[in-house]
């Protein structure tokens, strides 16, 4: 654990711009990533399973304002970012988004993020718990000819679910033209908002960056639509687990790397050859045949008892891995997990056991995602 983490835990959590709004809507607040965050809501539509199912069938409003909203600007911004990100940035067209990673020299993952070419600059959305370390890392490595800005006076809301596009189009005309992983500037009641068609649930949906001064009006406008209910971090976690999406600090860390973590798609094909980014040499080693000692896999459990983070994974008597995220899947009605297992045991269909309280729970290596993604892809 870094000193920064310790500092974060020692300080009282900050209030989100929508703190009072959440409490008025019956949120149960918990400290997370340095903020008081809604874990779930009470009431008729409240509870993790109800919020989870609402997201899969209608549209849910999540507050993810704890995440870091950064921009990098300057004539040289793309080239500078390419020193740190393994993705093509110079070839990222305006309005397009890309999943990427900050890496250590050894190929460890400092954070995962989304980078967007907004036109005037490149926007980075980074994990809340990592944002201060990320900013320090960027400051250290980016040259002085680019400007790093932290938009800490902006909230970030996510509207997720199959009805999200219809709902948002009614409030912010034009957003339904966006396809998955594209973004643009829109207006809400005469105010600029930045809308991205992306999310962390596996459903179609949007993330909306909105100034904290009018985020309440925007949230009110969304939940005024009966198709929208607020949802908390609990449902966000079960949704992303079903969607096979890794969570930094659990499924990804500096001890894991993009290849073992199943994120090879974030290593641009061209840049695997051309290199020039921190961690490139280490990633090349991982990409070689036999380069990864372990792999991130999905695990489907029999029965109803979940295997959770930290549970050990066995093949017979041999310890072959560890669960990094696990829980009960409301959509599938049985427990699911993600974890790292030795490469020889990472093939789909491999039968393993997860040890929970001295008991072995049978589990099968399963392709991710557990629940198919339903993104609104271009041309779809």
Partner 1 sequence: MARYFTEEHEWIEVDGDTAIIGITDYAQEQLGDVVFVEVPQTGTEFTKGAEAAVVESVKAASDVYAPIGGTVIEGNAALEGEPELVNTAPEAEGWFFKLTLADKDELEGLMNAKAYQAFCDSL
User: In the complex, which residues of this chain contact partner 1 (CB under 8 A)?
Assistant: 39-40, 47-49, 52, 234, 238, 303-306, 308, 327-328, 330, 335, 357
State in angstroms the smallest separation of the CB of 53 from partner 1: 10
* Backbone phi and psi for residue 55, each to the nearest 5 degrees, phi listed first: -65, -40
Cβ-based nearer residue to partner 1, 316 or 358: 358
Cβ-based nearer residue to partner 1, 49 or 135: 49
Cβ-based nearer residue to partner 1, 78 or 356: 356
Q: Which residues contact 360 (CB under 8 A, 6 or more apart)?
A: 314, 353, 354
Cβ-based nearer residue to partner 1, 279 or 326: 326
State in angstroms the smallest separation of the CB of 23 from partner 1: 17
DSSP E strands in 8-67: the ranges are 14-15, 27-32, 35-41, 59-63
Cβ-based nearer residue to partner 1, 93 or 357: 357
State in angstroms the smallest separation of the CB of 242 from partner 1: 12
Cβ-based nearer residue to partner 1, 39 or 221: 39
d(CA 244, CA 149): 31
Where does residue 166 fall: left (phi above 0), alpha (psi -120 to 50 degrees), or beta otherwise?
alpha
State in angstroms the smallest separation of the CB of 49 from partner 1: 4
d(CA 163, CA 158): 13
State in angstroms the smallest separation of the CB of 327 from partner 1: 6
State in angstroms the smallest separation of the CB of 199 from partner 1: 20
C-alpha distance from residue 68 to each of 64, 150, 154 (Å): 9, 7, 9
Q: Are strands 35-41 and 14-15 parallel, antiparallel or unpaired?
A: parallel
State in angstroms the smallest separation of the CB of 358 from partner 1: 11
Cβ-based nearer residue to partner 1, 207 or 237: 237
* Backbone phi and psi for residue 26, each to the nearest 5 degrees, phi listed first: 85, 25
- Are 342 and 293 spatial neighbours (Cβ–Cβ below 8 Å)? yes
Alpha helices by DSSP H, listed for 142-288, are 164-171, 215-223, 233-242, 269-274, 280-287
């Amino acid at each position: 654990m870094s000193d920064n983490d310790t500092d974060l835990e020692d300080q009282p959590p900050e209030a989100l711009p929508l703190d009072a709004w959440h409490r008025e809507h019956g949120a149960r607040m918990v400290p997370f990533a340095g903020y008081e965050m809604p874990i779930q809501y009470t009431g008729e539509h409240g509870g993790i399973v109800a919020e989870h199912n609402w997201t899969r069938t209608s549209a849910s409003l999540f507050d993810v304002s704890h995440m870091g909203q950064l921009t990098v600007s300057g004539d040289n911004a793309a080239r500078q970012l390419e020193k740190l990100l393994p993705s093509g940035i110079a070839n990222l067209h305006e309005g397009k988004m890309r999943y990427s990673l900050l890496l250590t020299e050894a190929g460890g993952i400092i954070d995962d993020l989304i980078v967007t070419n907004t036109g005037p600059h490149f926007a980075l959305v980074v994990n809340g718990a990592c944002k201060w370390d990320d900013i320090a890392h960027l400051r250290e490595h980016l040259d002085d000819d680019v400007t790093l800005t932290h938009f800490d006076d902006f909230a970030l809301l996510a509207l997720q679910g199959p009805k999200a596009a219809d709902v948002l189009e009614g409030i912010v005309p034009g957003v339904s033209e966006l396809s998955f992983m594209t973004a643009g500037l829109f207006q809400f009641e005469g105010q600029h908002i930045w809308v991205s068609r992306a999310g962390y649930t596996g459903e179609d949906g949007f993330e909306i960056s909105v100034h904290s001064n009018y985020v309440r009006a925007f949230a009110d406008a969304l939940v005024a639509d009966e198709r929208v209910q607020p949802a908390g971090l609990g449902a966000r976690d079960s949704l992303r687990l079903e969607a096979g999406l890794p969570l930094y600090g659990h499924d990804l860390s500096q001890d894991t790397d993009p290849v073992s973590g199943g994120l090879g798609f974030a290593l641009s094909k061209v840049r695997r050859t051309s290199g020039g980014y921190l961690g490139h040499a280490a990633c090349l080693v991982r990409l070689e045949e036999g380069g990864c000692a372990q792999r991130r896999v999905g695990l489907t459990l029999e029965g109803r008892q979940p295997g959770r983070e930290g549970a050990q994974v066995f093949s017979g008597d041999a310890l072959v891995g560890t669960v990094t995220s696990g829980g009960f899947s409301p959509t599938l009605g049985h427990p699911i997990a993600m974890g790292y297992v030795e490469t020889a045991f990472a093939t789909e269909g491999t039968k393993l056991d997860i040890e929970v309280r001295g008991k072995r729970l049978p589990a099968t290596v399963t392709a991710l995602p557990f629940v198919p993604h339903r993104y609104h892809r271009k041309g779809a």
